């Protein structure tokens, strides 16, 4: 037994000593491939196609690599064309409503750095409206879901994206601020209030649904996102804008592969990585990989609001930071408490919370870290145009 134990220890030590860092070849590759995201909107809404280049897996701080300065056009099989423009110089090429005839086929052409990329001609795939967005409370969170159906029984494959917006507030309200010109603590003006703010986010996971194996083309309570009841998103009011896309079979399979490669890998029981083959190619070098699958559809969207009042006695916000208050005396220029002034005069570090003494100095004030009282560090005081 002792001999076996010693042998085991030797083997373990050898394995630990033989470990070497693994640097995958892809991290040192100089190649950068085209990535195309979005859909050609055949309806009345805008078409936005995001075009970027791949970045290294590691040893690089770059996470976004937009393709700038390209010429991007939508073409029909009857030689019509529509130009998409990168208005904000961020790699998002857009056009207002195209209102494309459903009887034609369409493709995307990209010209950049002497290269041309072209998608296949694509038929218009109509998207049925979203019936409803709802939610259920479960396991300390709300689970949002979508309901939809196609009475013509022609869709079968669905994809969703969403934009989130929410109103929240800082842990404590700051009603005073230090004015260096007056060398005094003064009331905050309405435009200086930093208690209520708005935050926003976008979906990052691939959301798919299929009714191909069902007798009816009907999606019932397909999960969209889950939000803990402790999240700031639910603190005051929450809103979600959901976009729905009908997919042809090949596009659904493409997104399924991306989903498996990016979200379902990591254990020995997960699916093996597979090649992502889209419907866009490089004309000068057909062997060059191009990541993306273009579809043409009338995108359907729906927005809902969830006020905190609908979740009565359920919300218990847990703030993403530690807060505590302290007190300090502020004296006039004849006897300034320099420690208090140092804390109160730097909004990025500390902000006065509220007064507990007489209006004129000397007065005592509570103060706290800026994250505890300044919501603009995580959002904006300006309400979105759709907010109600």
pLDDT in tens, 238-288: 999 999 999 999 999 999 999 988 876 555 445 545 566 899 999 999 999
Contact between 72 and 107 under an 8 Å Cβ cutoff? The reply is: no
Does the CA dihedral 152-155-156-160 come out positive or negative?
negative
- pLDDT for res 347: 40
Q: For the chain, which ranges sit under pLDDT 70?
A: 1-30, 57-62, 264-276, 312-314, 325-366
- pLDDT for res 242: 98
- pLDDT for res 25: 53
- pLDDT for res 30: 57
- pLDDT for res 160: 98
């Amino acid at each position: 037994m002792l001999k076996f134990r010693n042998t085991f220890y030797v083997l373990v030590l050898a394995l630990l000593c033989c470990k070497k860092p693994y640097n995958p070849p892809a991290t040192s590759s100089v190649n950068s491939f085209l990535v195309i995201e979005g859909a050609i909107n055949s309806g009345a809404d805008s078409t936005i196609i995001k075009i970027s280049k791949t970045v290294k897996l590691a040893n690089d701080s770059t996470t976004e690599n937009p393709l700038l300065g390209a010429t991007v056009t939508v073409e029909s099989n009857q030689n019509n064309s529509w130009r998409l423009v990168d208005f904000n110089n961020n790699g998002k090429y857009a056009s207002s409503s195209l209102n494309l005839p459903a009887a034609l086929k369409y493709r995307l052409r990209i010209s950049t750095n002497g290269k041309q990329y072209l998608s296949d001609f694509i038929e218009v795939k109509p998207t049925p409206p979203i019936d409803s967005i709802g939610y259920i409370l479960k396991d300390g969170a709300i689970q949002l879901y979508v309901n939809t159906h196609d009475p013509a029984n022609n869709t079968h494959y669905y994809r969703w994206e969403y934009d989130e917006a929410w109103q929240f507030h800082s842990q404590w309200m700051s009603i005073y601020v230090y004015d260096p010109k007056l060398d005094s603590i003064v009331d905050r003006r309405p435009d200086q209030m930093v208690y209520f703010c708005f935050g926003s986010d976008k979906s990052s996971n691939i959301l798919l649904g299929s009714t191909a194996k069902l007798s009816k083309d009907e999606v019932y309570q397909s999960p969209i996102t889950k939000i803990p009841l402790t999240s700031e998103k639910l603190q005051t009011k929450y809103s979600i804008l959901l976009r729905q896309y009908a997919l042809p079979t090949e596009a659904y399979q493409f997104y399924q592969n991306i989903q498996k490669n990016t979200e379902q890998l990591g254990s020995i029981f997960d699916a093996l990585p597979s090649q992502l083959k889209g419907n866009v190619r490089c004309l000068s070098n057909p062997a060059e990989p191009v990541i993306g699958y273009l579809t043409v559809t009338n995108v359907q969207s729906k927005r809902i609001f969830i006020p905190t009042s609908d979740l009565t006695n359920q919300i218990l916000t847990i703030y993403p930071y530690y807060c505590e208050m302290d007190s300090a005396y502020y004296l006039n220029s004849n006897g300034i408490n320099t420690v208090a002034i140092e804390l109160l005069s730097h909004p990025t570090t500390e902000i006065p919370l509220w007064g507990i003494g007489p209006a004129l100095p000397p007065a005592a004030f509570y103060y706290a870290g800026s994250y505890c009282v300044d919501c603009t560090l995580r959002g904006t005081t300006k309400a979105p145009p759709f907010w109600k």
